[in-house]
């Protein structure tokens, strides 16, 4: 086992919650809680002073809350942040996803259950594993004012009229999806299918958060509903997301590679149904989910776009797809929406 000890700052207004998190984290030989903040302002100051490897951030705190603290930390002292939400109300889940989508946090999970609960061991293990994995992510400094680059890449001529857009992402995905979807017009002529790896209980909050600033209709996908242009269908955490030529298909089968919904399941589905009339985008994320599905889609003639290394929070998924030789086009994040708009416009 590695002897590296990761230094953790815990931010939570509840003394009980702080003690619980500290006890779980300090029990692991590779983790050490080096500070406890009871509000967002303290968290910002302690990150600057203590320089932890990772922060666990509560959402609802007095004064400066978790969202505001995350924004300030990512501007002043960029540090991997894991949002640890106490309850999964829609409001908490949405605010947790705002921390990721807009402010720069990397992941959101539920607070571990009490030690008396049957779920304690499992939820404590999830906390430890998430903190460790997110601590390895190299985060970048954010700017206070959102500035979108205007990039207009050359767009190759499509040989077939494209009918669907499928997108998959993991770590860093909510931010990347927000950048792309908010730049697409309300009359974008393709239905959009999205798989985002996310912790259980956060899908509704993710969809609600993503809807801010997006002119498209964003919703959790329902089995059998008709595919409509101008609509983003987000895969639920209980099923794999797929589609036939006209309707959503939710697949109640086991996780693929540990993921449900799985990017590979999505891409295999659109490869089967749409073949060369599908566009796929593989975004930032850990691991290799999606590569085998993209292989099927490439063989069927679909067009595949990968986010580049420089703009990816984690280059695992797009990097694996590029290495596998299944990608047609590699683009920086802020060029993808322009590319998509220009590509489908030429088919009108």
Q: Which one of the listed residues 65, 77, 197, 208 is annotated catalytic?
A: 197
Residue 62 near residue 13 (C-beta atoms within 8 A): yes
Token reading at 325: 């030789």
Q: Which one of the listed residues 85, 96, 170, 209 is annotated catalytic?
A: 170
Is 239 tagged catalytic?
A: no
Is 240 tagged catalytic?
A: no
Say how far apart CA 246 and CA 228 lie, in whole Å.
8
Q: Which one of the listed residues 289, 296, 311, 312 is annotated catalytic?
A: 289
Q: Three-class SS of residue 4?
A: coil
Other CB atoms within a 10 A radius of the CB of residue 110 amount to: 22
Say how far apart CA 130 and CA 107 lie, in whole Å.
8
Is 3 tagged catalytic?
A: no
* Strands across the sheet containing 107-110: 31-37, 6-11, 54-57, 81-85, 107-110
Nearest residue to 319 (alpha-carbon basis) of 279, 284, 280: 284
Say how far apart CA 95 and CA 36 lie, in whole Å.
21
List active site positions.
170, 197, 289
């Amino acid at each position: 086992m590695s002897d590296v000890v990761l230094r953790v700052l815990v931010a939570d207004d509840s003394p009980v919650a702080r003690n619980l998190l500290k006890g779980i984290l300090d029990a692991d030989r590779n983790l050490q809680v080096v500070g406890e903040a009871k509000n967002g302002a303290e968290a910002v100051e302690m990150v600057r002073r203590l320089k932890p490897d990772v922060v666990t951030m509560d959402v609802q705190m007095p004064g400066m809350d978790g969202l505001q603290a995350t924004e300030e930390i990512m501007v002043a002292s960029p540090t991997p942040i894991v949002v640890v939400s106490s309850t999964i109300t829609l409001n908490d889940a949405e605010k947790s996803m705002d921390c990721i989508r807009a402010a720069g946090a990397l992941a959101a999970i539920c607070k571990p259950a009490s030690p008396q609960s049957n779920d304690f061991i499992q939820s404590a293990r999830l906390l430890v594993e998430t903190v460790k994995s997110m601590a390895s992510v190299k985060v970048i400094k954010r700017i206070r004012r959102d500035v979108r680059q205007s990039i207009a890449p050359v767009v190759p001529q499509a040989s077939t009229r494209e009918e669907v857009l499928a997108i998959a992402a993991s770590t860093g995905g909510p931010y990347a999806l927000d950048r792309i979807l908010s730049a697409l017009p309300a009359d974008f002529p393709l239905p959009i299918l999205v798989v985002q790896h996310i912790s259980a209980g956060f899908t509704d909050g993710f969809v609600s958060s993503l809807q801010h600033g997006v002119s498209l209709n964003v919703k959790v996908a329902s089995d059998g509903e008709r595919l409509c242009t101008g609509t983003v269908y987000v895969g639920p955490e209980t099923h794999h997301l797929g589609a036939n030529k006209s309707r959503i298909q939710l697949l109640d089968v086991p996780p693929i590679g540990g993921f449900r919904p799985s990017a590979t399941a999505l891409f295999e589905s659109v490869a089967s149904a749409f073949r060369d009339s599908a566009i796929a985008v593989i975004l930032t994320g850990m691991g290799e989910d999606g590569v085998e599905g993209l292989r099927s889609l490439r063989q069927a003639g679909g067009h595949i776009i990968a986010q580049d290394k420089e703009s990816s929070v984690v280059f695992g998924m797009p990097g694996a797809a590029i290495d596998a030789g299944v990608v047609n086009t590699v683009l920086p994040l802020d060029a993808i929406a322009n590319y998509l708009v220009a590509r489908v416009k030429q088919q009108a």
